[in-house]
Chains A and B, each alone.
Chain A
Amino acid sequence: MSDTQLHDLISRHEVDLQAEWAKAITSAGSAREDLMKPEELRLQCSDLLRRLRQALKHGGTHDLTGPEWKEVREMLVGVSRTRASQGFTPSETANFVFSLKEPLFQRLRSELSAKPAQLAEETWSASTLIDKMGLLTMETFQQAREDVIRRQQEAMLELSTPVVKLWDGILALPLIGTLDSARTQVVMESLLQRVVAEGTVVVILDITGVPTVDTLVAQHLLKTVTAARLMGTDCIISGIRPQIAQTIVHLGVDLTSVITKASLADAFKIALARRNLMVVKRTAAVAAPVPAGV
């Protein structure tokens, strides 16, 4: 009955095993004290050891999918998820589990030195159990890392569009990020809807924060301008740097139907003109009027 053996061994030496295990992790160079406090590591070791002991007490098999192993599974999943996000490497994470072998085998050796056949059997059984725990840890770690990467990729495709009111009826939408994703058009149109609902007469789409303007981006911009026009709002595109202007010419994309300006300031001037407004320098003759009734 190997489970009872292992269970008894752990209960008898639990405190020592915890310490030896944590030491083995450290000497394997996998403790990463820059990422995790030594106390936290020791707590993880004692917590997992306790759960392992309980599972061995209740469980007849080493089938980690069984209900008696739930506590162990949850702990391993939690530990590897956290490590993935903390920046532990895969081998550092695997070593957390595998480092338990050394102190465990040592105990088995000293207890069963007189019974070599049983020693071999117990060692084998403990080893396969820890391998299974290691495997689960790695699978979770991998999964967690993929989740992190997927989130980063989504962030890369994000488009940030603050709405800046420049004047009554004049709004600027500084587009920051990529205009690549399939979602771009949806984002832009819902934004326009909002803008139009606010009674905007002129919208300035500023693309200073868009690093690359290719034909897909140009198409998104053209569609947005057309949609705005249908809703009765004029669009001006600003932030067309000289290198972008040249590239657009080579792409052969026709932006003549759209008002484009190099800077937001230039676009603002046009927008003011559209609204029959102008900015004049204040002179003595046109001093600030004294507010009436004060």
Chain B
Amino acid sequence: MPLTKCETLAIRAEADVVLVRQAVRKLAIEQGFGLVEQTKIVTAASEIARNTLDYGGGGEAVLECHTDGIRKGLRLVFSDQGPGIKDIGQAMRDGFTTGGGLGHGLGGAKRLVEEFDIVSAPGSGTRVTLVRWK
């Protein structure tokens, strides 16, 4: 899948989460996403960016535009060097939270995109990849 555009944003403060959402919204519009598709990818990005900040202690988001034949898509990679997740299955479960949240962020984000990947281990940080096609 050829990459047509790429930008990296730091996630260090609450305002950065807002900036990530704005940037994802802009790229989604550029890729021709409809209103519902835009809202889904922006909301998924918001969930994961928030986790990167709150649990990962900050990190970065790499936002990529891809074209695969006539298909256009967005691939978003969030990474941090935080404590990592011990039990990914448990973290993915709706309602599980260690931070007093609703515990629907990871599961919800997964349901809002077409491809979802999480790599995490205690001590080696967390990387979440979201892909959504138009």
Contact = CB atoms under 8 A, between A and B. Distances in A.
B108 interface: yes
Q: Secondary structure of the B side of the interface? A: helix
A164 interface: no
A247 B15 contact: no
Nearest to B107: A252
A158 to B, nearest CB: 10
Contact of B15 (A157, A212, A215, A216): A157
A157 B18 contact: yes
Q: Secondary structure of the A side of the interface? A: helix
How many residues of B sit at the interface, in one of the four size bands?
20 to 34
B47 A243 contact: no
Interface residues of A, number: 25
Nearest to A183: B14
Contacts of B25: 211
Contacts of A247: 39-40, 43, 112
A252 B15 contact: no
Contact of A251 (B14, B35, B42, B111): B111
12 contacts: A157-B14, A157-B18, A180-B14, A211-B21, A212-B43, A213-B43, A214-B50, A215-B102, A242-B36, A246-B39, A251-B43, A252-B104
Interface of B: 13-15, 17-19, 21, 25, 35-36, 38-40, 42-43, 46-47, 50, 94, 101-102, 104-105, 107-108, 111-112
